[in-house]
Structure 1
Amino acid sequence: MERTLVCVPLVGKSVGEMRSEMSSALDAGADVAEIRLDHLARFEPRPDLELLLKNRLLPVLVTFRPKWEGGQYEGDDSKRFAALLLAMELGAEYVDIELQVAQEFLDFISGKRPANTKLIFSSHNYQFTPSTEELGSLVARIQAAGADIVKIATYAVDICDVARMFQVLVHCQERQVPMIGLCMGERGFISRLLCPKFGGYLTFGTLSAGKESAPGQPTMTELLDVYRIKQLGPDTRVYGLIGKPVSHSKSPILHNAVFKSLGLDAVYVPFLVDDLANFLNTYSSPDFAGFSITMPHKETAITCCHDVDPIAKSIGAVNTITKRQTDGKLVGYNTDYTGAISAIEDGIRGLEGNGETVNPLGGRVFVVIGAGGAGKALAVGAKHKGAKVVVANRTYDRAREVAELVGGQALTLADLENYQAAEGAVLANTTSVGMYPNIHDTPLSSKKALSSYSVVFDAIYNPKVTRLMREAAECGATLVSGSEMFVRQAMGQFELFTGSPAPADLMRDIAMKTTR
């Protein structure tokens, strides 16, 4: 096998639906279609299998999963075995049977096994991922049972569980043992994306959201169009976004589109991380070359780096980590600062109609909503530019902590509702209030207070126009979108990741399409 196969599970309730799904799978770019017989509402083995297998559009993997192994079939095993044997006789390229009953199945088909069908013996653990040693022993058991292909699917309680699956995949590849190794759940998502790098035989992609046959399966669009899984291989460099949550982020779409346009052998994936230090220690190989950091890890990240850029150190937060090529040490940076401040400065220049203004923030009141990593970055950045900084936060103590760092004033969000800013003031929201799906929320609901600001910036870019921005526009403010900060900080990250100048026009074009 030259590359990891992409398989679409067919989960229709009727044979007609499954045939239609197979046609869609072919159009979507699938290599294999998995026929999930246990999903059929009514199943008549010979007529249904003949309809599904005769003149099939794709190679098929036939699975008849019992309820005790995560499927929907609750009947007698002998009926399952007979159906799977029939599928083999009708030419199915793959048949999946559970390790727990593999020997019984082999006894059942004794002497009748067609040579052109590969047997997949599978083991599913829906609670956790065992140790590397236990996974290795399980591989040996599945091999000894007579499998042509080993399949192990476990549940990822933590994203570091996936690293153990990758280790086992690499070991199997070195020994030329075909293996499907996947981790279920949101924290196991990267196992489905990066398996080509580590030698996985096959991965699964659904036709659309809601058609998953196991938790955590991506769509075919994500696999092929966003992550370009068919172009990934052993030498692919891995970058990604570390956060909690991360599923909402548009960063993978932007960075992967840029990698594709420039022909770089690299991929950018979402890392749902609970413990940052443990993650960085686990994924320490040079293959994992750089990381973007988002909430809630930006401040913790500064303690995890061996070296920190002076600006990031003064901010007290890191949003980008690279690995130094000479010694593999982690180096932390902050591109939130430059991305947001430069976008706001250009917004002010546009307001004044003077693109030559050297320091548009000098002397202005700059109100920052939020005292987390991004809020601190903007507060420090505005202070460096000569602004008078006000920090508003849900908890006053946290606002005061950041305000004292920049010699500014602290407010609670309740205080902000009645705060009347000086003429020409800038308002910058760095919280997640108003982010999709909570698009009707806003960190400042007072129209009277909002009308005090000449320029309003919202770091949120999903939706592109938040309630805060919409109401600020109604009050006559100039708007600076989170999309612009998003693309500018991403440009800074690209340069840190690759050592090459960011293709500004290309990235802005992609970002604008991405954040519509």
Structure 2
Amino acid sequence: MKSSGVLLASTDHLQMSCRGGTGRNYSLICAPIMGKSVDQMLIEIGKAKAGGADLVEVRLDYLNSFNPRQDLKILIKRSPLPTLFTYRPKWEGGQYEGDETQRLDALRLAMELGADYIDVELQVAHEFLSSISGRKPENFKVIVSSHNYQNTPSVEDISILVARIQATGADIVKIATTALDITDVARVFQITFHSQMTHEMKFQVPIIGLVMSERGLISRLLCPKFGGYLTFGTIEAGIVSAPGQPTLKDLLGIYNFRQLGPDTKVFGIIGNPVGHSKSPILYNKAFKAVGFNGIYVPLLIDDIGKFFDVYSSADFAGFSCTIPHKEDALKRCDEVDPVAKAIGAVNCIIRRPSDGKLIGYNTDYIGAITAIEDGLRGSHTTNNSSGSPLAGKLFVVVGAGGAGKALAYGAKEKGARVVIANRTLDRAKEIAELIGGQAISIAELENFHPENGMILANTTSIGMQPKVDLTPIPKRALSSYSLVFDAVYTPKMTRLLREAEESGAIIVSGLEMFIGQAYEQYERFTNLPAPKELFREIMAKY
């Protein structure tokens, strides 16, 4: 389906989701259980219960050996949570390669022994459901599923698929597609949302709609907002039954899954990569603490223009913006704050409720420059005296992206003499000409020491997880600097900061910039004063 069609569909349904509804969360959390033995599965089920899951999906295809009647009796009787049994064949992405009759017999037996749900694939659903006609227990539900590991079809094609699944007699429809781009998720949101609309009887049964891969993560996190019957939360990070599943701990502890509903506003961090960001932890914990009905999610975005074209409703209310989209984001905004325009990059975008226009701001320079000034003053509190400790200092900015521009601008405004060091010298020259500074290549940094007591600010991703052994400048070159700042905050102590401290420089972590720039963003997102002490308490734990 072409982008314009997605735009129309997603805008319509995302706007409708703010109308009506009770605001209550009816979506369930299901923990996949993939133990190799029944004993191991029972241990995992106990962990799922302790972790807050509502039900468990017992993946029979993961068992090394399986005695259907004996093992199913034990699993059903001893599970403290409702059970969903799945016996996924290889041809639908599972582990089972045996006889089909035996596989379906095991699922029928699970039903007879008291399972709450079973999951059967669309390809065999008609046959299976015919075989149990008239024998289904009253509260037992059959999920009929379809998995697409290649892409996410058009809304029309998904609708046809859902109708096919519904026609089998399914109690619950499950569709799992694959996101090649984050905009693919909007099409599945449209389907799950319409399944909840009482005046739209197109779909008569609940729908589980999930989009696999990291680009599809928001389908799992925003499930309660857009009417999905359930989402999956894993017991441990990395041990997943499908690509992109979050953990139970993150769903409940970071994303406040139980508090989400149709009226929840969506905020997020736009970037690539974005998985390392601590922004979801900070904002979601703050939202919960003050009772603000919002969720803040990671948004792995390849094309920012395409993203804004599709997610154009008021539900998607505000965004932080990080590498590499800060400059492109400015071009996509309808209006840009004068400071952000002067910098040439935005890191905060607000959708104005009155007309839906995107307004761009830059809070990077405030957070970073304040943190550096506080470091020079030896305090984490702003000094009210006139004049900046940066005045007259030689301020070397590493990197010519959006954050580099912001720091160069901020340092110049404070009276510093600015040098831009970048891999591509022409990019450094562009910023240097804009602010009246000097441009050099990163390679020149090693021997660049015209004076002592300089300030160094790294705004690149060099040294960020997982490449923590990298640094933008050799240790021997750090002795000329009185203060070194690193915008990277994962890890908090980068190689650059460690070597700078060993060389006698004051060091300022990117965490200080992160917290500082977040104050203004939070206030723009919520129209509430930033809980500054709470921010520091939250980040001290992570």
Show CA shifts across 1:44-79 (max 9, x none): 101111111113210010000000000000111110
Show CA shifts across 1:339-360 (max 9, x none): 1011111111128x99446211
Comparing 212-221 with 504-513, greater Cα deviation is found at 504-513
1:197 alignment partner, one of 221, 225, 234: 225
Task: Quote the residue 2:236 is aligned against.
Answer: 208
The answer to whether structure 1 residue 17 and structure 2 residue 40 are counterparts is yes
Q: Distance in 2 between matches of 1:78 and 1:111?
A: 20
Q: Distance in 2 between matches of 1:435 and 1:53?
A: 46
Q: Distance in 1 between matches of 2:263 and 2:320?
A: 21
Q: Distance in 1 between matches of 2:230 and 2:278?
A: 26
The answer to whether structure 1 residue 385 and structure 2 residue 406 are counterparts is no
Task: Quote the residue 2:168 is aligned against.
Answer: 145
Structure 2 length-normalised TM: 0.93
The answer to whether structure 1 residue 30 and structure 2 residue 53 are counterparts is yes
- Indicate conservation of the 8 Å contact 1:97/1:121, yes or no: yes
- Indicate conservation of the 8 Å contact 2:33/2:58, yes or no: yes
Gaps of at least 5 residues in structure 2 are 1-23
Task: Quote the residue 1:338 is aligned against.
Answer: 366
- Indicate conservation of the 8 Å contact 2:371/2:512, yes or no: yes
Comparing 258-267 with 353-362, greater Cα deviation is found at 353-362
Identity across aligned pairs (percent)? 62
Q: Distance in 1 between matches of 2:158 and 2:357?
A: 30
Change beyond 3 A, Cα 1:491–1:89: same
SS at match of 1:238: strand
Q: Distance in 1 between matches of 2:483 and 2:490?
A: 20
Task: Quote the residue 2:263 is aligned against.
Answer: 235
> Letter of the aligned partner of 2:463 in structure 1?
G
- Indicate conservation of the 8 Å contact 2:349/2:358, yes or no: yes
Any runs of at least 4 consecutive aligned residues in structure 1 with deviations exceeding 3 A, and if so which? 353-357
Show CA shifts across 1:69-99 (max 9, x none): 0000011111011100110011111010001
Change beyond 3 A, Cα 1:335–1:2: closer
2:100 alignment partner, one of 65, 71, 77: 77
SS at match of 1:417: helix
- Indicate conservation of the 8 Å contact 2:42/2:78, yes or no: no
1:115 alignment partner, one of 108, 116, 138: 138
Change beyond 3 A, Cα 1:7–1:421: farther
2:423 alignment partner, one of 387, 394, 400: 394
> Letter of the aligned partner of 1:151 in structure 2?
K
Q: Distance in 1 between matches of 2:298 and 2:61?
A: 32
Show CA shifts across 1:440-476 (max 9, x none): 11100141x2110111100011111111111111111
> Letter of the aligned partner of 1:486 in structure 2?
F
Change beyond 3 A, Cα 1:2–1:332: closer
Alpha-carbon shift at residue 396 of structure 1 (Å):
1.1
Show CA shifts across 1:241-266 (max 9, x none): 01111001110000001001111111
The answer to whether structure 1 residue 361 and structure 2 residue 390 are counterparts is yes
Alpha-carbon shift at residue 438 of structure 1 (Å):
1.1
2:312 alignment partner, one of 280, 284, 292: 284
User: What pairs up with 1:166-181 in 2 under 5 angstroms?
Assistant: 166-174=189-197, 175=201, 177-181=205-209
Q: Distance in 1 between matches of 2:529 and 2:50?
A: 37
- Indicate conservation of the 8 Å contact 1:483/1:512, yes or no: no
SS at match of 2:81: coil
Comparing 24-33 with 391-400, greater Cα deviation is found at 391-400
SS at match of 1:150: strand
Alpha-carbon shift at residue 2 of structure 1 (Å):
5.6
Q: Distance in 1 between matches of 2:213 and 2:78?
A: 35
Greater RCO, 1 or 2 (C-alpha within 8 Å, sep 6+): 2
> Letter of the aligned partner of 1:428 in structure 2?
A
- Indicate conservation of the 8 Å contact 1:151/1:179, yes or no: yes
Q: Distance in 2 between matches of 1:422 and 1:296?
A: 33
Task: Quote the residue 1:506 is aligned against.
Answer: 534
SS at match of 1:199: coil
- Indicate conservation of the 8 Å contact 1:38/1:63, yes or no: yes
- Indicate conservation of the 8 Å contact 2:475/2:503, yes or no: no
Task: Quote the residue 1:325 is aligned against.
Answer: 353
Task: Quote the residue 1:404 is aligned against.
Answer: 433
User: What pairs up with 1:422-437 in 2 under 5 angstroms?
Assistant: 422-437=451-466
Gaps of at least 5 residues in structure 1 are none
Show CA shifts across 1:150-169 (max 9, x none): 10000011100000000011
2:115 alignment partner, one of 72, 88, 92: 92
SS at match of 2:56: strand
Q: Distance in 2 between matches of 1:508 and 1:2?
A: 30
Change beyond 3 A, Cα 1:14–1:216: same
Q: Distance in 2 between matches of 1:314 and 1:307?
A: 13
Show CA shifts across 1:86-127 (max 9, x none): 100111110100011101112333443323210100010000
- Indicate conservation of the 8 Å contact 1:65/1:73, yes or no: yes
Change beyond 3 A, Cα 1:454–1:32: same
SS at match of 1:222: helix
Alpha-carbon shift at residue 11 of structure 1 (Å):
0.3
Task: Quote the residue 1:41 is aligned against.
Answer: 64
Task: Quote the residue 1:418 is aligned against.
Answer: 447
Structure 1 length-normalised TM: 0.97
SS at match of 1:241: strand
Equivalent pairs counted in the alignment come to: 513
Task: Quote the residue 1:254 is aligned against.
Answer: 282
SS at match of 1:301: helix
